[in-house]
Amino acid sequence: MIGVTVVIVFCLAPFYWMVVSSFRRTSDIFDKSALPSPWSLENYTAVFDPDQGFLRSMANSLVVAGTTTALALVIATLTAYAMARLDFPFKRLVLTGIIATSMFPVVSIVVPLLKLFTDWDWINTYQAMVAPSLSFALPLAVWILTAFFRQIPIELEQAAMIDGCTQGQAFRRIVLPLAAPGVFTTAIITFVAAWNEFLIALSMTNDAAMQTAPVAISKFTGASQFETPFGSQMAAGVLVTIPLVVLVVVFQRRIVDGLTAGAVK
Amino acid sequence: MATVTYEKATRVYPGAERPAVDALHLEIACGEFLVLVGPSGCGKSTSLRMLAGLEDVDDGAIHIGDHDVTHLPPKDRDIAMVFQNYALYPHMSVADNMGFALKIAGVSKEERRRRVAEAAALLDLEPYLDRKPKALSGGQRQRVAMGRAIVREPRVFLMDEPLSNLDAKLRVQTRTQIAALQRRLAITTVYVTHDQVEAMTMGDRVAVMKDGKLQQCAAPRELYDRPANVFVAGFIGSPAMNLTEVAVDEDGARVAGTRVPLGRAAVRAIAAEGGSRATLGFRPESLEPVGSADGGFAVLVDVVEELGADAFCYGRLENGADVIAKVDARVPPRKGERLHFRIRPGETHLFSAKTGDRH
C-alpha cells in the first residue's frame, strides 16, 4: 500500500503541478499555492493563438505517431508470429540482436541520420520522423508480441486448421484475437513513445508547418523575448497529454487478463 | 463415412535416428471404431496426426475413402479431431466453438444454429451454449470438444486421448458415452489412448503399437486370447500376463520343476527354430489352486490385492520368478502363505525366446 501511494504521488505530483500552473495567470505563474487563484484560461487562449501553430503541430504528431504505431503493429505482429512458431537456427541470438538494436542512444545517430535524410531530401517530411521512430519501436514490439504468441497453445491453430481454416485464416480468426491484449499493449507503448519523441522531430524539421507538438511547445514564444512562456507550455502539455490518456483508457478495456483461460485442459 | 487406409506410412522426425512411425499398414473399415494403443513414445499420436494432416508423411500413403490425402492440408480432408487438451477457442462461446467449422465452410446461419442445437442436445450442453470455455468444468469442456467434432458430420473422427484430463469416475462414464455415440453416428473413428482398458472397452478393433511399429491389430477378444507377441501379451490385460522364460522339450515346459503341457504345434515350432527355450505366458485367471500333492507349482504369497469382486495374489515361484494369480475374493490367501497352482489346460501362450513372436 505504501509503495502504491509513493508511486502515485511521485508520478502524479508533476502532472498535478502542470495542470495547476496551466490555469494560473502569466503574472502569478510562480505562485506556490495548491490551487490557482484566480483561475484563468489565459494560457489556453494563448496556446490556440494561430501564430503558435499548435493545432497544426498536434495534427502532425497524430500523423507521425499514428503511422508509426500502425506500421510497427503490422510488421511486429508478423515477425513475432514467425519468431514464436518457426524453429530456425540461432533464434535466441536473433531475438537478442533485435532487442539490442533498441538500446542505441538516439543522440548518437541523429547527426548521421540528418545527413542521410538531407541527401534524400527527406527534411520536413513525415517519413523522416516515422522511419526512425519505427526503428526504435519495432524491437520492443517484436519482443512483447513474441511473448504473447508463445502463450497461445499451438493446438488452437491446429484445431482451426482441421475445422477448415487455411493457415492465414487460423492466424486471423484464432491467434490474433487471442493476442489482442499484447497487440494493444504494444500499440500504447509505441504510440506514447512516438507521440513524445522530440530529438528526431526537432532535428528533421525546420518548417513550422511540419513540427510535431513537443517541438512546437519548445518553440513557444512569450510576450517578450525575455519571458519564457511557462504558462502556455503547461497548458500545451496538458493538451498533449489528453489524447494519450484517452488512448490508454480506450485500449485498457481491451487488455483483459487471462484471455486464453479455458482453451486447454 | 469412409474407410481409412495407411499404406506403409512412415514419419521420420528430422534428426531422429529411427522413424516415429515405421511403415504403418492398417485398413480401417467404414464406421469402424479403431483404437491405437501403446506406451508413450510408441508413435500412436504421430500416426493420428499424420491422418489429420498435422504431421508430414515421409514415405508411404494415407487414403480416406478413395482419396489419397497423403499431402493434403488438414482442411481438405473432411475430418474432425478431439484434442487431448480440447483446444477450445477461448474467445468464443460454446455455440460459436461448435459452429466454427460450419461458419468457415460457409454454412448459413439458420442451418448452423440448427446443427449446433442438435449436437448440444445430444451432449447435454444446451444450458451452456452462451458460456465461454473458461466457465465450464473439465467434463463439460470435453463434451464441447466432442460437440465441435460431431457438428461437422465429418468422414472421420480423430480422437487423441480425449479422456486423459478427466477424473477416474468421469472417465469411465464418458468412455461409455463416446462409444455409444460413435455406434449411433456410425462415423469411422480413430481413437488414440495409452490406457489399455479404454482400448479394450471401446474399440471394434485395437491396434497395438510399440517403437513406431504396429504389433498387432485385432478385435479386443482376439488380442486378449491370442496376443501376437510377448509385447502385446504383456501390454494387454490388467494385471499383466505372467511371462516367464522356460525350457521346452517334447513333454512340454518346466515351470519351477513342474511340467506344463503345451500344444504339439508350439513345441514343434520351437524345435524347428533350433532352440529349447521359450517364453511361456499365462494370465492370472488361468491359474487354479490345487492341493500340494496334485502336481501344481508352489507360490509364496507376497501381497494380496483385494478389489471386492476379485482378489489378486502377487507371489514368487520357487525359482524366484514373480507370478500373479487371480484368487477367490471371498477366501483370499494371507501374506506369507504357500499356495499351489496349476495352469488350466489350453490357456498357455508360448512365444519364441529369440523373436518374441507367438508360436
* B249: CATH: 2.40.50.140
Q: How confident is the model at residue B161 (pLDDT cuts 50, 70, 90)?
A: very high
B52 touches chain A (CB under 8 A): yes
Least trusted range by pLDDT, from A31-40, A158-167, B66-75, B164-173 = A31-40
Q: Residues of B numbered 329-348 whose beta carbons fall under 8 angstroms of chain A's beta carbons: which are they?
A: none
- Of the pLDDT bands very low, low, confident and very high (cuts 50, 70, 90), residue A31 is confident
Percent above pLDDT 90 for chain A: 41
Q: Which pLDDT band holds residue B275 (cuts at 50, 70, 90)?
A: confident
Same domain, B249 and B171: no
Higher pLDDT, B241 or A33: B241
| Contact flag A165-B75 (C-beta cutoff 8 Å) | yes
Q: Measure Cα distances from A212 to A15, A19, A131, A133, B288 in Å.
A: 21, 21, 15, 13, 94
Band of residue A226 on the pLDDT scale cut at 50, 70, 90: low
Kindly report which listed range (A211-220, B132-141, B233-242, B261-270) carries the lowest average pLDDT score. B261-270
Cis ω for the linkage preceding B154 (within 30 of 0): no
pLDDT of residue A36: 83
Sign of CA dihedral A2, A4, A9, A11: positive
B49 or A29: whose pLDDT is higher?
A: B49
Nearest CA in chain B to A153: B87
Verify whether the Cβ–Cβ distance A163 to B152 is below 8 Å. Answer: yes
* Separation of alpha carbons A226 and A223, rounded Å: 8
CATH at residue B12 = 3.40.50.300
Residues B223 and B272 in one domain: no
Q: How far apart are CA B295 and CA B345, in angstroms?
A: 13
Is 80 exceeded by the pLDDT of residue A237?
yes
Q: Are residues B229 and B252 in the same domain?
A: no
**What does the pLDDT read at residue B273?**
79
Residue A221 CA from chain centroid, whole number: 26
Q: What architecture (CATH level 2) is domain A47-252?
A: Orthogonal Bundle (1.10)
Q: Kindly state whether residues B15 and B69 are assigned to the same domain.
A: yes
- Domain holding B269, by residue range, is 242-352
| Domain presence at residue B316 | yes
Which of B235, B257, B287 is a domain's end point?
B235
Give the least confident one: A144-158, B59-73, B142-156, B242-256: B242-256
CB contact under 8 A, A169 and B86: no
B294 in a domain, yes or no? Answer: yes
Comparing A44-48, A73-77, A159-163, B68-72, which segment has the lowest mean pLDDT? A44-48
> Are B315 and B250 within one domain?
yes
Q: What is the arithmetic mean of pLDDT over A215-233?
A: 79
Pairwise pLDDT comparison (A176 vs A260), residue with the higher score: A176
Q: Using CB atoms, pick whichever of B74, B85, B165 lies closest to residue A161.
A: B74
Query: Per residue in A69-101, is it b (16+ CB within 10 Å) or e — as a string?
Result: bebbbeebbebbbebbbeeeeeeeeebeebeee
Rounded mean pLDDT, A196-201? 91
Higher-confidence residue of B250 and A163: namely A163
Residue B53 within any structural domain of the chain? yes
Residues of chain B in contact with residue A155, where contact means CB-CB under 8 angstroms, are: 83, 85, 87
Domain count across chain B = 2
Residue numbers of A between 159 and 218 with CB closer than 8 Å to B: 159-166, 169, 174, 177-178
Buried residues in B65-104 as b, exposed as e (16+ CB within 10 A): beeebbeeebbebbbbbbbbbbbbbbbbbbbbbbbbbbbb
Any chain A CB within 8 A of the CB of B54? yes
pLDDT digits (tens, 9 = 90+) for B67-91: 999 999 999 999 999 999 999 999 9
Please state, rounded to an integer, the average pLDDT across all residues of chain B.
92
Domain regions of chain A by residue span: 1-40, 47-252
State the Cα–Cα distance between residues B142 and B135, nearest whole angstrom: 13
Query: Are B226 and B253 members of one domain?
Result: no
The proportion of chain A whose per-residue pLDDT surpasses 70, expressed as a percent, equals: 94
| Candidate ranges A224-228, B186-190, B274-278, B304-308; pick with highest mean pLDDT | B186-190
- A50, with CB counted inside 10 A (0-12, 13-18, 19+), is exposed
Asked if residue B358 is part of any domain, the answer here is no
Question: Is B357 part of any domain?
Answer: no
Contact B90/A260, CB-based, under 8 Å? Answer: yes
Q: Which of B170, B204, B235 is the last residue of a domain?
A: B235
Please name the member of B89, B138, B148 whose beta carbon is closest to the beta carbon of A156.
B89
**Residue B208 sits in the same domain as residue B162:** yes
pLDDT tens-digit readout, A66-123: 999 999 999 999 999 999 988 888 888 888 888 888 787 888 889 999 999 999 999 9
Residue of A nearest to B102 (CA): A163
Q: What is the pLDDT of residue B236?
A: 93
- Given B171, B206, B235, the domain boundary residue is B235
Q: Say yes or no: B164 and B286 in one domain.
A: no
In a domain? residue B348: yes
Contact A151, A260 (CB under 8 A): yes
Do B190 and B329 belong to one domain?
no
The answer on B250 and B195 residing in a single domain is no
The answer on pLDDT for A200 being more than 80 is yes
* B85 Cα to chain A: minimum distance (Å): 4
Position B155 in a domain: yes
Q: Which residue among B53, B87, B136 sits closest to A153, beta carbon to beta carbon?
A: B87
All three cell numbers of B15? 534428426
Question: If contacts are CB pairs under 8 Å, which of residues 11-40 in chain A contact chain B?
Answer: none
Do residues B197 and B301 both lie within one domain?
no
Same domain, B219 and B287: no
pLDDT digits (tens, 9 = 90+) for B80-127: 999 999 999 999 999 999 999 999 999 999 999 999 999 999 999 999
